[in-house]
Amino acid sequence: MTVLSEHRQIADDLVTCTRLLAHYKFIDHSGHVSARLPGTNLILIQPRELSRAALTADALLVVDLAGTVVEGDGVPPAETAIHTGVYRARPDVGAVAHGHSGDSVVYSVVDQPLLPVRHFFFEFPDGVPVHSDSTHIRSHEQGDAVAATLGAGNACLLRAHGSVVVASDIVELFMDCLDLEENARTLTTALQLGCPTVIGAEEARDLAASYARNGFRARKTWAHHQETGRLAGVL
């Protein structure tokens, strides 16, 4: 039995997440999603050349935390170091997404932090951190530096480049990617209308208690968008 076949549900969820994020333009011809295989130092990630919209579970690669392919045919994405750097630094992370959506990345090139204006974005009262390296993240050292910018949080921006979102599993990761972009769109509109009222530290503490993660919202979001994707022919 192969590593991939032993973790088929994670592989299927990774494909669903990737296809949906491509449909919603969080990723496009580039960008990628990965998942840690429980109890191992291995991850699933797609081959570099394959269309994100056409990804299948059988095409996924099994890669170690040094970025070496241990199972599957193909070459990993050029920026696999983003993923491996995060997994090495954060044992709590089970899934990582790197996207290029303009909704959030615009806040990496202006003197305006991506602050929380939607209540689900309360975890960033000081704004989403921005990693200063605008080049492609290809080396172990660069991956470690991204992980340092991310810190204990679940998202950071790469200057003039894109975003990195992490979560405990794929279902939560998908929701967090949508939340990042929705908050960015709301903030952009609010800034056009005037001075937005952002969520401060005290309100964030109240929301943390009110919004305690029990998995329900993530599962509800996942189920809704799976059905949306099926109806649209994405899945």
**Alpha helices, DSSP H, located in the chain:** 3-6, 8-23, 80-89, 102-105, 140-150, 170-193, 201-210, 216-231
Neighbours of 193 (CB within 10 A): 7
**Region for residue 34 given its phi and psi (left: phi exceeds 0; alpha: psi -120 to 50; beta: otherwise):** beta
pLDDT at residue 208, as a whole number:
86
User: What does the pLDDT profile of the chain (235 residues) look like in tens digits?
Assistant: 688 788 999 999 999 999 999 999 999 999 999 999 999 999 999 999 999 999 999 999 999 999 999 999 999 999 999 999 999 999 999 999 999 999 999 999 999 999 999 999 998 988 999 999 999 999 999 999 999 999 999 999 999 999 999 999 999 999 999 999 999 999 999 999 999 999 988 898 898 888 776 778 999 999 999 999 999 999 9
pLDDT at residue 220, as a whole number:
95
CATH code assigned at 79:
3.40.225.10
- Residue 34, classed as helix, strand or coil, is strand
Helix (H) or strand (E) holding 24: none
Structure-derived torsion over alpha carbons of residues 119, 123, 127, 131, reported in degrees to the nearest 10: -140
Contacts 24+ apart (CB under 8 A), 64-69: 65/41, 66/140, 67/140
How far CA 174 is from CA of 14, 106, 139, 169, 178, in Å, comes to 10, 20, 26, 9, 7
Query: What residues contact residue 65 under an 8 Å CB cut-off, 6+ apart?
Result: 41, 42, 43, 84, 87, 88
Query: Which amino acid, 134?
Result: S
With CA atoms as reference, report the closest residue to 228 among 20, 60, 87: 20
Using CA atoms, how far apart are residues 21 and 72, in angstroms rounded to an integer?
Answer: 23
The CA-CA-CA angle for residues 167, 168, 173, to 5°, reads 40
Where in the sequence is the domain holding 10, given as residue range(s)? 3-231
Using CA atoms, how far apart are residues 128 and 82, in angstroms rounded to an integer?
Answer: 17
Count structural domains, the chain.
1
